Structure 1
Amino acid sequence: MQPSTEQGATPTATGPNAIARGLGALGDEWSLQVLRAAHAGATRFGRFQEQLPVSAASLAARLAFLSDEGLFTRRIYQQNPIRAEYVLTPQGRGTWPILVAIWAWEDRWADHPRGALPTRRHRTCGHEFQPVLVCAECGEPTDRHQVRTTWGPTGGWARSVPETTTRRRPRSPRRPGEFPETMAVFGNRWAAVVIGAVFQGLRRYSEFETTLKIPSNILSERLRVLVDYGLLRTEVSAEGRREYRLTDKGTAFFPVMATTLNWAERWYSLPEGPAMIWQHHDHALVPRLDCDQCGEPLAAAEIEIVRD
């Protein structure tokens, strides 16, 4: 995945683009957990509270935020007192590939206790599976090395930084089904931009600072956290300069980024055009997740959570 603006449209507009808005919607401390519970069937406030170790005030704020963003529809089912349920919209239901990609990445790479994450079964073939990122246009498996990106009309680093900010909780044991290491990236607006910049070829501290316009103290902290979680490693170049490069764990995060940005472009697109243009070989990339066992495309309704 190599960056280029030479063949893409020159970004000219202002304001947050689809990348910024999509990462802002999903990057809240609890947004992914609320969506996970909703995909598992939760609609009412009490059910969300049963599944998530979050305060009532925080849960109410997240449900209101995700409703305002269009991921939930709020429906009143009782008038006195007023009680509402929160039902996933098509936009909200469209997050399932992101959650599946995150789950698979956490299951393979994150420091979870053994058995902390339940397994997934593909009802179509009856097997436990891992999702495989493929190009929906040609059906071939793909990774970051086979994808070329250019900024679109609404692209550019300045427009791609999420406006929301969240507090990063300290690294600690989590309940089953949580995504602690994913939140090291999604849970902080600058971390998401930094990891995206590394995917696009930035390597040196000075490049991050100049290109992304990140305050130096924040940049240092974000790089430290990403190294601490094992997504980045440092090495010394032939010129004797320190560089930051993706580890195997960091490289494996690509399906999460691809499904997330594809979702963001679908639901937060602007009239001026896309933020980023994805090219796979000689055609546009449309990310899709397939089953590694039978090769068939995955669908939300065909994924069964296997619990002990």
Structure 2
Amino acid sequence: MTRKNVTNLGASIRQRLQNHAQLSNRPFDEILRFFAMERFLYRLSKSAHADRFTLKGALMLRIWDTPLQRPTMDIDLLGRMDNDIQTVESLIREICTVEVEPDGIIFDPTTIVGRVIREDTDYEGVRIRFQSRIDNARVTLQLDIAFDPFVATKSFLCDYPTILDLPAPRMKAYSREATIAEKFQAMVYLGSINSRMKDFYDIWLLSRHFDFDGNILADAIKATFEHRRTPIEATPLAFTPAFSVEPTITHQWRAFITKNHLNDAPVDFAQVTIALADFLSPVSESIIESRHFNSIWKAPGPWR
């Protein structure tokens, strides 16, 4: 393909994405970012390193086709390789240059910069940032790669949904149960210093729209808390009335839903914590009491 054709394709893709943003009533920058993430994941899925990464985090909401999908600034991945920055940077450079069907986007491997991050586990992660270009629009991508070898449930192969009519990435991804278990553990672990409103939102959203087998969810939560050496609490601080009306927390929640254009999410944070307590406290109680939790959650609940 000639340089002129590449340029024309980029301009065409950019215009189609702008049309999509208008039709879906979403910010154009958000659609550009989601497209760039999608096409990077496609290159990853076609690379020699596809089996070394598992998709997790907010992009899973797109795979599960949940309503009220929140925007995200990064791609969350679980990596199966050494967690030194040079190794990870080298892999991402290779992925950026994988030859695929023309899709109007160029990833610049010379802009890749990595640094160490540390969140809620004993394993240091790596954050990678680099630039991409769609016509004259530049999009910065950020990858947050975790290296904890433990995952509560088996990953599954999924086809990542595409915005336009382009080949879809096919890759390993987290289960809903593992996602909930890790986010719930973070809530309990962080306690009063928790500012991760995305975790409250994601669990609330999943519990509103998906069914769960109580035993499978309980096993995932129990294993995750044990691995991260966190005592399970039937009613953690995050589910208490005092926490749900704390001014700093309620301000953070309202800022979160406003910034992310989540117009259908509850404005009252207490509604969210009550819903999460209804969903997770019975599971926690069964684990504490060492009994099987044979109930079924039919969205939006309750357990039966």
* More helix as a share of residues: 2
Q: Which has the higher contact order (CA 8 A, sep 6+)?
A: 1
